Structure 1
Amino acid sequence: MFKRFRTCASGALVAAALAAGPGYAGDGHDHDRARQALEAGEILPLRTILDHVERDYPGQIMEVELEQKGERWIYEVKVLRTGGALVKLKFDGRTGHVLGAGERNIK
């Protein structure tokens, strides 16, 4: 459990660094590819995605991932809502459009 949290937290920090711009020096191949995608305009900054999440799905952001599936980049964000529901959101990395949303009660 702790290892997964640490991995998720590390991913969120990397994603936040990507949103900060080209000053970030990634230390892994995946991080470098994501940074290059941001610099090339292939993906939106994480801050843009998080603004959307905070506006439309208020709660505590638990996990953020950026994945490349084929030619498409996908941001996946998990949010713990006040009532105890865990919402899993998928966004198109280029446009910011919601690709899918799922919710489950964890209480």
Structure 2
Amino acid sequence: MLAWICQLLGGVPDPDVILTNATIYWLTNTAASSARFCYENHHAEPDGEPTAFPLGLASFAHDFRPLRRFAERGHKNIVSLGECDPGSHWAPDATDLLGEDLRSFFRRVR
């Protein structure tokens, strides 16, 4: 579980953050359901036609970087695909960048 948490949190250098997250998953017995969600998303085939609604994607440092060609398999109206270098796996770690990315997306779809 610690290896999985370290992968999720990427380059978080603070062991207290890693241990706190692992403890929460362990004590609430939610690691399996969270891992299953990740597994099923990874192995899922897109259903039917790609979605047509406007979509914005953002990724942060130490997180999976979405590739446009993979995103387009399930979505045909990708308005923005932002990559932010600071932050971590959790977007709220970079609230200013997340806020600007959201504002930029909604300016484009007005």
Larger fraction in helix:
2
Give me the TM-score of the superposition, normalised by structure 2.
Answer: 0.30
Give me the TM-score of the superposition, normalised by structure 1.
Answer: 0.30
Larger Rg: 2
